A and B are shown apart, each in its own frame.
Chain A
Amino acid sequence: MVGRVEPLPASREGGTRMGGEEVTRVQAPGKPKTVNINMGPQHPSTHGVLRLKVALNGEIVEDVECVLGYLHRGSEKLAEDGTYLQFIPYTDRMDYLAAMQNNMAYCLAVETVADIKVPEYANYLRVIAQEINRIASHQVWLGTWGIDLGALTMFFWCLRDREEALALLEQMCGARLTYSYMRFGGVKQDVPPGFRERALAWVRYMRPRIDEYESLLTKNDIFLLRTKGIGNLPKHRAIGYGVTGPMARGSGVDYDLRRDEPYCNYRAFDFDVPVRTDGDCYARYEVRVEEMRQSCDILEQALTRLPERGPYIAPEVGERAKQNRLKPPAGEVYTRVENPRGELGVLLVSDGSNKPYRVKVRPASLSNLQPLPEMVRGLKIPDLVATLGSTDITLGDVDR
């Protein structure tokens, strides 16, 4: 049924809290067998400030309750204060590993409500930026998941190669993490000369690196033992929970917004959408690794076809201060883009003024995290860590 979690009992007498986790005297005989442990908000493998109240019977996870909000910054309320343009930096800080997609989702919503046409050149730049960011985001996921599984080296290999991705994004927009690159009707600035060659070189460098990542994990027996059949999420449950993105595709939901509901000019690119039907950690891993390859394909196509020069922003909107004066007509839209984690939707309500009336960001991570208790019930503690890692949540995205 519904992922209902009974509220865990408060810690027993003598319990105290130290450094974020609950400490209790060893249980006297005769008391119930369940041990309650707080994983997080400060724990090595909760990927941020997620708090899990775990009920354990020995090593077996009996129940999990997620406690959210430790990174809640009220971005949606802040959106109502500033102008449309002023909200873009806040979107960077939601899913901070995929700021480009967050920019994109928000700009797409504003462009939809204001009927702005984006020039082709700007669309190419947007696709390039997003796909570089997608690979970088998957690299962080793979690396941190490696740490969750005890394969420490994965993290360094991934971050080693991500460095160049960040350098490329820095060339595009001047920042390495919080890009604020997209503007209504285009992007902030043109790419510098030599960018195309550097990016193409990186794509060519990345392909063998992805094989290298796989050589460390895919055929490793311990890795297979730890991931195959662990954290199962059947297709109908995935759909019911609103799970999207690589996680849904690992459960057999053959859907990718880039292919099936193309925004920017994704229609122009030829790429596959990897789908696995097993719905376990390994399937999600396979999907994401294959997605990195597909992103390389898209990047290669986009970089070779990128026109020499063109308008990088819609002339009717203009740049800089003109962006800040944007006043879309009143209206309500729901748009969505494919974030590395899944469907990133924006419900934007405009009242005709220069400030958004309501911005609701539909984060992929929130819905992807929701089936966690159902996925891990009855498994062991290490499986809980592996499954949580395989959902690829960003707490900035969950809490906003």
Chain B
Amino acid sequence: MSAPPAAAAAAAKPSGLTTPAPAPGSLAERFAQDATEHIEGPGTQKNHPQFVVKPSALPQALHIARRLGFDHLADLTAYDICPPGIIPLPPGAKEPTVVFGGAPRIEVVYNLFSYARKEHLSLKVKLGRDAPEVGSAVPEFPGADWLEREVWDLLGVRFAGHPNLKRLLLPDGWAGHPLRKDYDRAKEQFVSLDEQTGEDVVSFEEGRGW
């Protein structure tokens, strides 16, 4: 379960996780110029240019990208990175990998696309695992509404400024965020229906719900 610290240090510099440089004259290159003060560095996406954006500057970066012509927010998602030996994982959970180095974090990925220029751009923010929060993309892309709710639901990332940030897929009151690597699936939760309010009620007690 826990890898020796030396191994973790060795994995700090991951291999194979590189992103292509934006082509000269492309929108992505212009984005790199316009948003240069918001960019922390290159990202890791293999097939589209990706930039890591400072979490505080994400709304500005999205605004710049949309102004440049990236009008389609194709996807908004996140994943949990737990380098080995730092976070205690529940039994049966997937062995942590050594490839992703650095601190435990959640990376939120925005995949943008420009219909006019047929170009891709990917943005990424790296957030701490405890109470991760980033600005909402809804003011720029109304379609981000449910996508952000899903990320909040499954990974527990809060989006500041989201108009209605509640769980999308799981019932309200669900404990935990299932796509976190340390989510304990062995603890069953039971959902039942409140006859009066018509809302879902979640409980850990067996027999109360299904």
Q: Do chains A and B touch in the complex (CB under 8 A)?
A: yes
User: Any chain A CB within 8 A of the CB of B7?
Assistant: no
CB distance from B152 to the nearest CB of A (A): 13
Summarize B's interface: helix, strand, loop or mixed: loop
List of A residues within 8 angstroms of B199 by Cβ? 10
Stretch of A168-176, A238-246, A311-319 contacting B (4+ beta carbons < 8 Å) = A238-246
Which chain A residues (80-134) contact chain B, with CB distance < 8 Å? 80-81, 112-113
Closest 7 CB pairs of A and B: A242-B143, A351-B97, A69-B169, A358-B79, A362-B75, A241-B143, A360-B77
User: Any chain A CB within 8 A of the CB of B133?
Assistant: no
List of A residues within 8 angstroms of B196 by Cβ? 10-11, 15
User: Any chain B CB within 8 A of the CB of A5?
Assistant: yes
User: Any chain A CB within 8 A of the CB of B25?
Assistant: no
Contact residue among A11, A244, A360, A367 (Cβ-Cβ distance under 8 Å from B79) = A360
Q: 24 A-B residue contacts at CB 8 Å?
A: A10-B196, A10-B199, A11-B197, A15-B198, A16-B195, A17-B198, A69-B170, A69-B171, A77-B178, A242-B147, A243-B143, A330-B14, A331-B44, A332-B44, A335-B47, A343-B74, A352-B16, A353-B97, A357-B79, A360-B79, A366-B147, A367-B146, A370-B145, A399-B169
Residues B164 and A4 in contact, CB atoms below 8 Å apart = yes
By size class, the interface of chain B is: 35 or more
- Complex CA gap A351/B106 in Å reads 15
Which chain B residues (167-207) contact chain A, with CB distance < 8 Å? 167-171, 178-179, 183, 185, 193, 195-199
Residues B111 and A347 in contact, CB atoms below 8 Å apart = yes
User: Any chain A CB within 8 A of the CB of B99?
Assistant: yes
Residues B143 and A367 in contact, CB atoms below 8 Å apart = yes
0 or 1 for each of B42-62: is its CB under 8 Å from A? (1 = yes):
011111101000000000000
- Complex CA gap A183/B14 in Å reads 28
- Complex CA gap A240/B193 in Å reads 35
Residue of A nearest to B15 (CB): A330
- Name B's A-contacting residues (CB within 8 A): 14-17, 43-48, 50, 71-75, 77, 79-80, 94-95, 97, 99-100, 109, 111, 115, 118, 120, 122, 138-139, 141-147, 150, 154, 163-164, 167-171, 178-179, 183, 185, 193, 195-199
- Complex CA gap A68/B167 in Å reads 9
0 or 1 for each of A261-285: is its CB under 8 Å from B? (1 = yes):
1000000000000000000000000
CB distance from A381 to the nearest CB of B (A): 20
User: Any chain B CB within 8 A of the CB of A52?
Assistant: no
CB distance from A36 to the nearest CB of B (A): 9
- Name A's B-contacting residues (CB within 8 A): 1-5, 7, 10-11, 15-17, 22, 38, 68-69, 72, 74, 76-77, 80-81, 112-113, 237, 239-244, 253, 255, 260-261, 329-336, 343, 345, 347, 349, 351-353, 355, 357-358, 360, 362, 366-367, 370, 399-400
List of B residues within 8 angstroms of A358 by Cβ? 79-80, 179
CB distance from B165 to the nearest CB of A (A): 11
Residues B74 and A38 in contact, CB atoms below 8 Å apart = no
Q: Choose among A239, A241, A351 the residue with the greatest number of B CB atoms under 10 Å from its CB.
A: A351
CB distance from B141 to the nearest CB of A (A): 6
CB distance from A208 to the nearest CB of B (A): 35
Residues A332 and B170 in contact, CB atoms below 8 Å apart = no
List of B residues within 8 angstroms of A336 by Cβ? 74
CB distance from A261 to the nearest CB of B (A): 7
List of B residues within 8 angstroms of A2 by Cβ? 138-139, 142, 145, 163
- A10-B198, A347-B77 given as contacts; is B122 within 8 A of A334 (CB)? yes
List of A residues within 8 angstroms of B139 by Cβ? 2
List of A residues within 8 angstroms of B195 by Cβ? 16-17
Contact residue among A242, A331, A334 (Cβ-Cβ distance under 8 Å from B141) = A242
CB distance from A400 to the nearest CB of B (A): 8
Q: Choose among A15, A330, A335, A355 the residue with the greatest number of B CB atoms under 10 Å from its CB.
A: A330
- A4-B164, A22-B198, A241-B142 given as contacts; is B74 within 8 A of A345 (CB)? yes
CB distance from B207 to the nearest CB of A (A): 20
- A3-B145, A330-B14 given as contacts; is B45 within 8 A of A242 (CB)? no
Contact residue among B45, B47, B80, B115 (Cβ-Cβ distance under 8 Å from A255) = B115
- A4-B163, A332-B45, A358-B79 given as contacts; is B74 within 8 A of A242 (CB)? yes
Residue of B nearest to A239 (CB): B71
List of B residues within 8 angstroms of A38 by Cβ? 198
CB distance from B89 to the nearest CB of A (A): 12
Residue of A nearest to B178 (CB): A77
CB distance from B28 to the nearest CB of A (A): 14
Contact residue among B45, B100, B197, B198 (Cβ-Cβ distance under 8 Å from A351) = B100
Residue of A nearest to B174 (CB): A69
Residue of A nearest to B109 (CB): A347
- A11-B198, A331-B17 given as contacts; is B97 within 8 A of A345 (CB)? no
Contact residue among B17, B115, B146 (Cβ-Cβ distance under 8 Å from A370) = B146
- A4-B164, A345-B111 given as contacts; is B99 within 8 A of A352 (CB)? yes
Residues A260 and B118 in contact, CB atoms below 8 Å apart = yes
